[in-house]
Structure 1
Amino acid sequence: MTTERNGEARVHAETGPGGGPAAGAQPRTLAEELRTRPDTELAWLLRARPDLLSPVPNDVTQLATRAGTRASVVRALERLDRFALQTAEALAIAPDPCPYDTLLALLTGDDEAPEVAEALPRAVGTLRGQAIVWGGADRLRLVRTAREILTPSASGASPTGLGPTVTEAAAGMSPGRLQDVLAGAGLPTTHDSVTAVEALTALFTDRERMAALLDEAPAEALATLGRLVWGPPYGTVPAQPAAPVRWLLARGLLLPTAPGTVVLPREVALHLRGGRAHRVIEPVAPPVRAAAGHSPAVVDATAAGQAFTALGTVEDLLREWETGGPSVLRAGGLSVRDLKRTAAALDTDERTAAFWLELAYAAGLLASDGEAEERFAATPAYDNWLRLPAAERWAALVTAWLPATRTPGVVGGQDAKGRAMAVLGPGLDRSPAPEIRHRTLALLAALPPGTAPDPATLLARLRWQRGAAAVPGAAGAASGTGTGEGAWGADRRHAAGAAAPVLPPGEELRTRLTEWTLAEAELLGVTGRGALSAHGRALLGLPPAGSTERTGSGGGAAAGRERAGSGGPAQAPNHGLPPEHGAPATGPASGHPEDTGSGAGSGTGSGTGFGAGSGTGFGAGSGTGTVPGRPESGTGTGHPEDTGTEHPASGSRTEPESGSPASAPGTGQPDSAVPGDPGSPDAGFPARSEDEIAAAAAQAATLLAPLLPEPLDHVLLQADLTAVAPGPLERPLAEALGVLADVESKGGATVYRFTPGSVRRALDAGRTAADLHAFLAEHSRTPVPQPLSYLVDDVARRHGHLRVGAASSYVRCDDDGLLAEIVADKRSAGLRLRRLAPTVLAAQADPATLLERLREMGYAPAAESAEGDVLITRADAHRTPPRTPPAPVPEGPPLPDATLLGAAVRAIRAGDRAATAGAAAQRGPAAGPTAPGEGRLPRTTAAETLATVQAAAMTGGTVWIGYVNADGAASQRVLAPVRVEGGFVTGYDHTADEVRTYPLHRITGVAELADDTV
C-alpha cells in the first residue's frame, strides 16, 4: 500500500539523510517521526501492532500509511487500557496539535489530581509507541483516523459524552440567527458569521465571563444543562420550547442542529465540567482484592488432587468410547442425548462433561473416525498419552487448554443462524478465550501465594486492561461475531451518567470467559481453592513465588527471551517526553531487565503477563521487580500491597503501582507498553516458542509429580466380594482388575465388586480359573476370601458348558437335560430353538445375539470356532486414523517472533534506502561500473558473491543482487540475507515483498547497499 493518508505519510523534500527530517527540525508527518526512531522502537511498534506486518511494509512511508488505516487504528484502540484510551479520547477533543499541559488539564480539570499527572507520561508513551500519537511534547498529534473515530461530530457525541464545538454546531445557522445569539449573550454584533462564531467561542472558553453569564441563568435552565453536561449532549425540544430552553437558545448555550434537536456545545460542557473531558478518570488499575488466603502447601495439594481427578476423568471418558463412541451429527458435533449419557457415565453435569470432551478434542486425544457412518473415537495419540507419567499427561492437557479458542461454555447456545451449538461441533471458537485465560492466570500469579481473588475485583481489573469492548467502526465486539455494541459500550454510558451498566455483547463474553477460566482452572488443578498453584505458575513460565530471580513480577521466560535478543527493547522506548513530563527512573541505571523488573517479561504495567493490554510481564500491575537486600529496585511481588490487593482480615489496602510514574530507567514510556514483554498490547498472550512452552510444561510436570499419589501394585480383597484400591493402581493391574470386577464407587479409594458376570467376562477374555486365582493371590495384601474363590470356581465350572457356533447359529452341550431346560424356558421363545440332536440346538439368531440372550437367562455360554475351539471374545479398541488437534482461531494476526521482527525492521530500513537510491540514480549515475541504481546488473566473482552475502547474513545487512532466472530474464533485487547454505541464499526480498530463496549460481553479482550510496 503506497497511497498517502491525509498528509500523515507524505515525505517532504526538506529531509535529512535517509528521508528523515533535517537536523533540529520537528517531524511534520508520522512517517518522518518513524524514520527518526531507532530499530528497537520500530520493533516495539511492530510487536505492539502485528497487523502492520501483514505483509511487511516496503518502507517507512508505507508503514506510516498502514498505521493510519481505519481497521488497524480500531484494533489498536481496542487493545488500550482504560487510562490510555481516556488519554486518546481527550486528545481527540483537544486542539491539534496539543501541548502536553493542555492534555493534562483536560484530564484533571480544575482539581488536583496527582495520580493523573503521574500516570499520564505512561499513557502518552503507550500511544506514541503504537504510532497512535506522534510529535513532540509541545505538539502532540493524534493520527487523523483515530481523531475521526473519537471526535464528536454534528451527528454524534464522542466517548467522552461531549458534543461538537461551537464552530461545528453553528455551521448550519444563518448569519442573522448568529447575530441574535451574540446580542442575547451580551456581545457586540459582527459583520460575518466567522467572527460571530469566534466571539461565541471566546466567551465560552473564558471562565470568568462564562461564570458571570451562568449566574444570570434561571434555575430550570441550569438543571437543563446539568442533564446534558455529561452526555449525551443532544436533546429534543418542541416547536415552542419552554422558557428555560428559550433562555439557553437565545445565548447560544444550546444550539439547534436540526428541527426539534439541540446540542450542548463542547466549550460550554467543558466549562460546566470544570475543564474535565471525563466524568470519571481512571489512571490507576483497580486493585484485585483477596477473597481468601490459604497455605500455599494446601493450595498445591488441592490442585494436585484436582489434577489427578482430571486425568482419571479423561481416561474414563475415552474408555467409555473404547470400542467406538457415539455417532457424529450431520451438522457436526455430539447430540444432546449422547452428551447426557456421557455426563451420566462421568457422574457430572452436562456443562462439565462438555468441557472434558472439548479438552480431549483440543489435546488430540479424541476425533471423528471419518468413516461412512461417522463416529467419535479415541485417536492413536491417546495410546501414546496413556504411556506417559501422570504429571506429563496433565501437562499435555493444560498445554492444549491454554491456547484453545474452542469454548465449551457456549454449548447449548444459538449461533448466528439460530441453530443450537453442539459440543465437538462447529461454531464454538471464541478468539478472545486464550487472552482471557492468560490474563486471568497472570492476575492470580501477581497475588501472594495461596491467595484467592475476589471475582468482582478481578473482573473490574480485566475490564480496565481492555478499555473498550468495541470501538466505533469495528466489525463487531471482541467475540469476533459481529454483534458488539459500538460507541464504546455500556461502561461509557455508565460513566456518562446512565442509570445502570448493562454490558455490551463483547464485554459480556469477556466476563463469561473469565468466569469459565476460573472454573476450568480449578477443574484442571491449575488452581486450588481459587489460588494459583506452584505448578500453575511454572506452566506460565514464571519463577517460583518468593524466588530470588530478579525478574520482577513478570519474570521467567520473557526475561530470558529478552536477554537472548528478542528483537524488541529491554525497556520501553523513550519517545521524547521532556524531563519535566517524564517518569522518574527507578532502580539502577544499567537498564538490565533483571535490575528493575522493567525488562521483557516484567515491569510495573497495569496489564497482565499475557494480555493484549497495557501491562508488562505477568505482574498485572504488581510493581517493579524485587531483589532481596535492594529496596530501591521496586515494590516486588511478595505482598498484597504490590498488586493493590486487600486482606479480608485487616481491611487494609494499598493501591497498585500500575498507575504510578515508575518506569524503566531513564524513559518517559510506561513499561506497560513494551511489546517485547508478555504484557504488551499484542494478540493477547506471549509469543513463546515451542521450546519455551515445552520447557514450561516440563517444569510444571516436575513440580506436580511429587504431589501426585504413586501408583500401587496391590488391592485389599474383602469378604463381601469387593476389592478396595487405596490409591491409583498401576496401569496393567487397573486394566486387568477392570475386566475381572466392576467399579462400584470412586473417591479417595476405588471399590471394585466381583460378580458372576464380571468373572465370566474375564474368562471370555481368555483367562482360566487358575490364572484368576494366581492373579488375586499376587495382587492382594489380604488373603483371598473363600467366597471369592468359590465364585471364580463356580463360574469357571459352568463357563463354556454351552457352546454357540454359526449355522444360522447353534448351541451344543454334552448335558441334554440342560438343553431341554433351555428349550422349555419361555425366555428363549424369541430365539426359535429346535433340537437337531440330543446335544445340539439350532437357533434363528446370529451367534452374538444368541450368546447375549443366553447370558441374560443366567447361563455361561462360550463361543466356538468352526473347528470347535473356544473363541476368546475380546473387543478390539477402535481408533481413528491419525488426527491433527483443532487449531486455535486467533483474534488477530499472530505475534511476530524475534527473527521476523528483526528481518522486518531491516527490510523496512532497506526499502527506505532503496527508494532513495533509486531517486539518486535518476538524478545522475553513481560512481563505479556496478553501482546499484544504474540499471545494469552488478558483476562480482562467485567467491566475492558468496563472501558478501554471508557477511550480510551475519551482520543483518542488505545487498543489491543481480539475478537471472531460468528463462534468462535479468533483474535487480534488494535482499536482506538470513541464511546461506547448500548453494542457496534465503532472505527477505523487499522488491517482491516476501521471503525468497535464490541459487547462488544464478546471481551475477552483489553490491552492498550502504548509507553512503543513498
Structure 2
Amino acid sequence: MDSDFVQWLRDLGRDDLAALLKNRPESVVAGAHSLSRLAAVLDSPGAVESALQRLDAGCHEVLRALCGLGDGCTREMVEEVLGAGPELDRALRVLQEHVLIRPDPQGAIRLAAPLRHAHTAGLGRPVAKLLHPHVSNTVRGIAETLGLEPARRKADTIRRIEEFMQDPAKVSAEFAKAPSSAVELAVELARDDSVFRSSFGSPSPQSPGVRWLLNRGFLISPNQYTSYSGPFEMPREIGLALREHGNQPVLRPEPPMPPTTTIDPIEVDKAAALAATGFADGVARLLEHCAVNPLAMLQNGGVGVRVLKQLAKALGTDQHEIRLWLETAAAAELLSLDGAGCLVPSNLADDWQRSTPAQRYAWLVRAWWEQPAAAMFSKVVDKPGPAMLPRTSAFDRRLRADLVAELSGWEPGAALDEPNLIGERLAWKRPMLYCCAADLVEPIQVNWDEAEAVGAIARGALSTLGRCGSDAEALLAAAVRLLPEAQETALLQADLSAVVAGTPSGRLAATLNLMADQEGRDTASTWRFSPESVRRAMDRGHSAEDLLGKLAEIARADLPQPLEYLIKDVERRFGQLQVRTVQCCVLGEEALLREVSRNRALRELSLQVLAPTVLASSKPAQETLAALRKAGYAPVPQAGDGTVVVERAAADDRPPVVVAQPYYLDFAPEPLMDAEVDELAERLLSQPDEVSSRRAAPLVQPPTPNSLDDMAVMFGDLGRVLAERTAGLSDLEVELLTEAVEGGTDVEIEYRDQNDSSTTRVITPYFVAGNHLDAYCHLREDDRQFRLDRIRAVSPLNRRRRAKR
C-alpha cells in the first residue's frame, strides 16, 4: 500500500476524513478497520468505478484530461488543455473530495491507482509504460529512427524517446516526413481508441504505413512477442499531439433549469393525496380479488398478459396500473402462492389490511421505491411480456432516485409541463449511467407516470410525499397528515346494499366482506347482501345474532328491516339439512328429503333413500355440500358423531412470494448519521498505521455480494472463501492466490478450460466475484474471468520463470 496515501488520509483531520467517508460510502464497511485498509479500498477498481458513477459530466471531462496527461501532471498542464476558470476549480475540488485525485508534496496531481493505466478519452498508455517490456535492441532502434542518441541504459533511452514525444513540434516535424497512409491511420487512431488491430479491410501490419509508425514508436506492441502481429497501441503522448483542439475535452457547465410553472404546493399535495389513496385502495382491491379468485401464473413464472387484461377488466382499470399494483404488492410481501401455484394474499396481507390508510400507503411506497425496474414499462413496449419476472437491471431504481433528487432541489410547487425536459440535466449529472438526454425520453416518461400513480408527483411537481423519498418515518408522518382517515361506518340501505364513502378501515372491510359481496370500489365502495353471502357467513360459525350485532357496530343508523329479515330468514333455513360423511348421507325432514331426492339439479349426486329422514349420496361430503348449495339449499356438515362442523377460513401458512432478482442486487450500505461518521473518522485517525502489512486490506470489488461468502470476502476472510471454492489446491497455493488478490501482484496458474484442456497463464487478479476470479490475463492481453474450481495449480511468478530459464 502507498504509504504516502495513508499519510495523506491522516493529514486530512477528522472533519475532512468524515466528509470523504460520506462521499465514498462504499468504503465505509470494508475500510472501517484502519487507515491502510481504507486506503486499499478507496484505490480498488470496484470502489473507484462506484465513485465515477456519481460524478457529473464536468468532473468526467477534467478526469479525461488528467488521465490523458498522466499521473503526476500539474495544474498548469491541465489549464493548457482546458483553460482556467471556476468550472475547472469546482471539478478539481469534487474529484479530490471523492479521492479520485490528490496532490502530492511537490504540487503534482496523483490519480487513484486504477485510473493511472486507464485508456481514458481514447488515449493509450504512456510510451514509457509501453516500451518497458521490450528488449533494449527494440528501444534502441526506435531512438535511432527518431534521430536520437541511444543511452547505455534502456531506461535512459526510453526517457529520451519520451521527451521527444512530449514535444508537439518535434512530433509534427516527424509526421511531415510520413507517407499519407501512415498519417491517415495515425489521425484515425488518435480520434478513436488508440489501438490498431489487424482485421478485414484494415492495413496489414507489414504495410509501409504501419511499419513507418512502428519503427518510430508511434505504434507499440504491448509486449515483445507480438511485435509483428499486433495488436498495437499508440502512446498517449502521440495521441495528444495529433488531436485537434476541437477534439480536446471541453468543460460543459451544468445545463440550466427547464422552464417551469408555479403551482400552489397545497394544490399539489391535494392531488397527490388523491392519487396515493387510489394507489393503496387499488392494491387492497387486488388482494381482495386474489383471495376469492387466485391468479394463475405461467409455467415459466410471471403473470401472463391475458390474465393481466382479465384482472384489469374486473378491477376497472388498465393493465399498466394492474402491473404497478401487482408488482408493488409482491415487493411489499403481500402476495403468496397457494398449493396450486396461484397468487393469493400472504399472511402479511392480513396485517396490512388492518392498518390505517397512512400505514398502508407508507408500506407500499417503501416497496415501490426499491423496485429495480419500472412496472409500467408496458407503456413503451410494443409487445410487453408477463409481469412479476426477474429484471436484469436496476436502471429504473437509479433513475427514480435521481429524478426525485433533482425535483427536490427546486422550489416547492415548481411544475414541469414536459417531463422529458429534465433529461438533459440528469444526463449531465450522471453521464456514466444515462449517456445522453435522447436515451432518457422513454425511461423518464415511464418513471414519471409511476411517480404520479403513487402520489410522489402531482400536477407536474414533486409532492410532500415525494420529497420524503425513502425516509420511512418522514413518509409515514406526511401520509398521516395528507391522507384521509379510514371510514369505520357504512350506510346500510333498504335495497340490501352497503355504501362506504372513502377508504374503509380494515375492520369495516372485513365485516362487510364476511357477509356481503363487493360490487364496486372507487371514491365510494359498495357491497351487496344476498342469501348466499349471508349463508357464507353462517357457514363460518356465525349466528344471526352475531351478524346483526356486527352490522349494528358499523351502521351509521338503525339497521333496515329488509336486511334483518334476510338474515333471520337465512338462519331459519340454515341447517335444515345436515351432511354426514359416509360417502355420504344427507339427513333431514321426510318431506324435505323427498323434494331433494326428486330435484333434477342434483342428479350427479345419485341420491338414494336409506330411511324417511336419510339420503345417501355417491359423492364425498364437500362435493355434496357444494351441489346442495348450488341448488338453493342451505345444508350444514356434521361430524361422525352427529355434531355440526363449523366451516372456518383455512389458516394456512402463506409466506410471501419472492421474485428472484439475481442480476440487479446492489450493495448499498445504510448511510451513517453525521455523528457516526465523525466517530468513525476519529477512531481511524487514532489507530496506528499498518502500511507494512501485506494483509492490510483485500483489494476486492465491494459492490455486489450475492451470498454470505461474498460478504466474507468483503470483510477480509478471502483466504477461507478461496479455499472452499478452489478444487484441490494446497494451503500454500491458496495462500499465494490470496496474496495476489490482496496485493494486486502477478501469479502463474495452471487452468483447465471447459474443453478440459490445460493451459498455463500469468494473471493479475483483481477481485473474487461469486465462483469466479476476475483478472488480467497476460496471455490474452485482456481482462478475463476464471472459474475458481478450474484452477489446478498456483505458483509464484518469479520462481517459475527462473525454473524455465
- Supply the AA of the counterpart residue of 1:851: L
CA distance in structure 2 between the partners assigned to 1:440 and 1:702 by the alignment: 25
User: Aligned match of 1:162 in 104, 120, 123?
Assistant: 123
* 1:536 matches 2:466: yes
Counterpart check, 1:230 vs 2:191: yes
> Pairwise mapping of residues 65-76 of structure 1 onto structure 2 (< 5 A)?
65-76=40-51
SS at match of 1:735: helix
Counterpart of 2:268 in structure 1: which amino acid?
Answer: V
Q: 2:24 aligns with which of 49, 73, 84?
A: 49
With over 3 angstroms needed to count, the CA separation of the structure-2 counterparts of 1:910 and 1:512, relative to structure 1, is: farther
Aligned mate of 1:812, from 580, 587, 593: 587
What are the residue-to-residue correspondences of 1:32-43 with 2, within 5 Å? Answer: 32-43=7-18
CA contact (8 A) 1:799 1:862 kept: yes
1:445 aligns with 2:445: no
Whether contact under 8 Å (2:204, 2:210) holds in the other structure is no
**Secondary structure, counterpart of 1:912 in structure 2:** coil
Does the alignment pair 1:737 with 2:512? Answer: yes
Amino acid at match of 1:163: G
Contact 2:355 2:506 in 1 (8 A): no
2:479 is the counterpart of 1:701:
yes
Cα distance in 2, alignment partners of residues 72 and 763 from structure 1: 63
Q: Is the 8 A contact 2:304 2:386 kept in 1?
A: no
Identity within the alignment, % = 26
The residue type paired with residue 392 of structure 1 is Q
Q: 1:270 maps to what in 2?
A: 240
Alignment of 1:351-750 (within 5 A): 353=322, 355-366=324-335, 378=345, 381-402=348-369, 404=370, 409=375, 423=388, 436-450=399-413, 451-452=415-416, 454-469=418-433, 491=435, 517-539=447-469, 693-694=472-473, 696-705=474-483, 708=484, 711=487, 713-715=489-491, 717=493, 724-750=499-525
1:823 is matched with which residue: 597, 600, 612? 597
1:307 to 276, 279, 287: 276
CA deviation digits over 1:577-600, x for unaligned, max 9? xxxxxxxxxxxxxxxxxxxxxxxx
Alignment partner of 2:91 out of 102, 110, 123 = 123
**Distance in 2, Cα, partners of 1:247 & 1:381:** 72
Q: Deviations over 1:342-386 (max 9, x none)?
A: 6676556667555445534544545579xx999876565544444
**CA contact 1:163–1:264 (8 Å) conserved in 2:** yes
The Cα of 1:327 is off from its aligned counterpart by: 9.4
Contact kept, 8 Å, 1:87 with 1:123, in 2: the verdict is yes
In the TM superposition, residue 147 of structure 1 has moved relative to its aligned partner by 3.3
* Residue identity in the other structure for 2:631: M
Is the Cα–Cα contact under 8 Å of residues 577 and 588 in structure 2 kept in the other structure?
yes
Amino acid at match of 1:521: A
Distance 1:806 1:380 in 2: 31
Task: Map residues 311-350 of structure 1 onto 2, 5 A cutoff.
Answer: 311-320=280-289, 322=291, 346=315
Structure 1 residue 833 displacement after superposition: 0.5
Q: Secondary structure at the match of 1:391?
A: helix
Distance, in Å, in 1 between the alignment partners of 2:340 and 2:53 is: 45
C-alpha distance in 2, partners of 1:219/1:62?
53
What is the CA–CA distance in structure 2 between the aligned matches of 1:442 and 1:160, rounded to whole Å?
Answer: 29
Are the equivalent residues in 2 in contact too, given 1:851–1:863 (CA < 8 A)?
yes
Distance 1:175 1:849 in 2: 93
Whether the 8 Å contact between 2:74 and 2:107 is mirrored in structure 1 is yes
Secondary structure of the residue aligned to 2:603 is helix
Tell me if 1:146 matches 2:76.
no
| Pairing 1:910–2:711 present | no
CA distance in 1 between partners of 2:405 and 2:597 (Å): 71
Do structure 1's residue 106 and structure 2's residue 106 form an aligned pair?
no
Residues 777 and 324 (structure 1 numbering): CA distance in 2 closer, same or farther, change over 3 Å? Answer: closer
Cα deviation, residue 882, structure 1: 11
Q: Distance in 2 between matches of 1:905 and 1:195?
A: 44
SS at structure 2 position matched to 1:468: helix
Secondary structure of the 2:610 match is strand
The AA in structure 1 aligned to 2:402 is R
Distance 1:382 1:255, change over 3 A: closer
Please tell me whether the aligned partners of residues 358 and 406 of structure 1 are also in contact (alpha carbons under 8 angstroms): no
Alignment of 1:845-856 (within 5 A): 845-856=619-630
Give how far 1:47 is off: 3.2
The aligned counterpart of 2:609 is 835
The CA deviation at 1:850 is 1.3
CA distance in 1, matches of 2:71, 2:617: 95
With 435-444 and 56-65 compared, the bigger mean Cα shift is at: 56-65
Change (3 A) 1:731 1:175: closer
* Distance in 2, Cα, partners of 1:228 & 1:345: 61
Change (3 A) 1:716 1:289: farther
Give the CA deviation at 1:211: 6.7
The corresponding residue for 2:100 is: 132
Give me the whole-angstrom Cα distance separating, in 1, the residues matched to 2:90 and 2:569.
Answer: 82
Alignment partner of 2:536 out of 761, 781, 794: 761
Matched residue type, 2:258: R
Deviation at 1:97, TM superposition (A): 2.1
Match of 1:134, SS state, is strand
Judged with a 3 Å threshold, the aligned counterparts in structure 2 of structure 1 residues 757 and 530 are, in CA distance, closer, same or farther, namely farther
Rate the CA distance shift 1:246–1:466 in 2: closer, same or farther, 3 A: closer
Give the whole-Å Cα distance in 2 for the aligned partners of 1:240 and 1:65: 41
Letter in 2 for 1:399: R
Q: Distance in 2 between matches of 1:375 and 1:49?
A: 44
Distance 1:55 1:215 in 2: 54
Per-residue deviation, residues 632-670 of structure 1 (Å, max 9, x unmatched): xxxxxxxxxxxxxxxxxxxxxxxxxxxxxxxxxxxxxxx
Q: Distance between the aligned counterparts of 1:211 and 1:754, measured in 2?
A: 92
Residues 530 and 819 (structure 1 numbering): CA distance in 2 closer, same or farther, change over 3 Å? Answer: farther
The one-letter code matched in structure 1 to 2:193 is P
Partners of 2:35 and 2:689 within 8 A in 1: no
Q: Which residue of 2 aligns with 1:77?
A: 52
Instruction: Tell me what 1:684 maps to.
Output: none
Deviation at 1:312, TM superposition (A): 1.9
Query: How far 1:38 sits from its partner (Å)?
Result: 1.0
Q: CA deviation at 1:160?
A: 0.4
Gaps of 5+ in 2: 222-227, 379-384, 693-805
Q: SS of the counterpart of 2:609?
A: strand
What SS is found at the alignment partner of 2:432?
coil
Distance in 2, matches of 1:175 and 1:876, equals 83
Residue 516 of structure 1 deviates from its aligned partner by 6.1
Could you state the TM-score of these two structures normalised by the residue count of structure 1? 0.55
CA contact (8 A) 2:104 2:110 kept: no
Separation in 2, partners of 1:103, 1:175:
30
Number of residues of Structure 1 aligned to a counterpart in Structure 2: 667
Offset, 1:699: 2.6
